[in-house]
Amino acid sequence: MAFSADELRVLRRALAQALQPSTSPTPPHPEDVHDYLRLADAVDEAARESVRLRTFLFAELVRYRAALPGSATGFLERLNGALDSGYVPLPDDLAALRRLRGGRYDAMLRRCEHLAELAVRARLEARIPAPAGAGGARAAAALRARLYALPGGRCAADLPPRPSRPVPTPGEVFPRRRHPAPPPDPEPEPASPPQPSPPEKPGPPAPEERATG
């Protein structure tokens, strides 16, 4: 971020005002206050513009990486600009550079591998706790120190007396109602014995028997 000559003069006045002894501070001039606010707005706008630019560069990098190998030149330019703005190369970027061949791509691959390794080391160092030195020993001793009662606390006499018998629970005071048991199923009726079939009636005599008679 670069400042103009006028902005640098305003920044110097603001720093001088901030570094004054707190015993006898001099109130700033109204015009100086106006310049301070205008400089703060300009810095905020520049920061927002930087975020928008980085977002655009990263989106362009993803688009050119997806169009490889036809967009190799554009991908290399976007990756270089993203690295200059603080971009940490991703595994997809390293894989894309390994697929490309050439002196420029090999140099960019070495640069990206170095930056990725530094980022991994920084994350690992942030996760590993620092060794306990003299300060850690003092903190542990303070944790093991005896606790003392502070003035204004409550002693045992101020606490309400404990009941002689335990307080009944809501389940004991209001027991659940027992639902009546369902009636038993009716017993099945015995099967009736089979009825005898009626005797068959004799049929009419045959014609031959009638003729002989």
pLDDT in tens, 37-80: 888 888 888 889 888 988 888 899 999 999 988 899 999 999 99
More confident residue, 202 or 73: 73
Is the Cα dihedral 24, 25, 30, 31 positive or negative? positive
Q: Is residue 93 pLDDT above 90, yes or no? A: yes
Q: What is the pLDDT of residue 97?
A: 92
Q: What is the pLDDT of residue 64?
A: 92
The 3-state DSSP class for residue 23 equals coil
Give Rg (Cα) of the chain: 48
The answer to whether the CB of 79 falls within 8 A of the CB of 60 is no
Percentage of the chain with pLDDT > 90? 19
* Cis status, amide bond into 168, omega within 30 of 0: no
Q: What is the residue extent of each domain of the chain?
A: 5-19+28-127
- Closest by alpha carbon to 112, among 75, 164, 161? 75
Count of Cβ atoms closer than 10 Å to residue 59 Cβ = 11
Give the length of the chain.
213
Number of C-alpha atoms within 13 angstroms, CB side, residue 116? 13
- State the pLDDT at residue 9: 86
Range in 6-15, 104-113, 166-175 with the lowest mean pLDDT: 166-175
What's the CA angle centered on 159, arms 153 and 162, to 5 degrees?
155
Positive or negative, the CA dihedral 124, 126, 130, 136 is negative
- pLDDT at position 150, please? 47
206 vs 57 pLDDT, higher one? 57
Look at residue 169 in the predicted model and tell me its pLDDT.
66
What is the distance between the alpha carbons of residues 73 and 67, in angstroms, rounded to a whole number?
Answer: 11
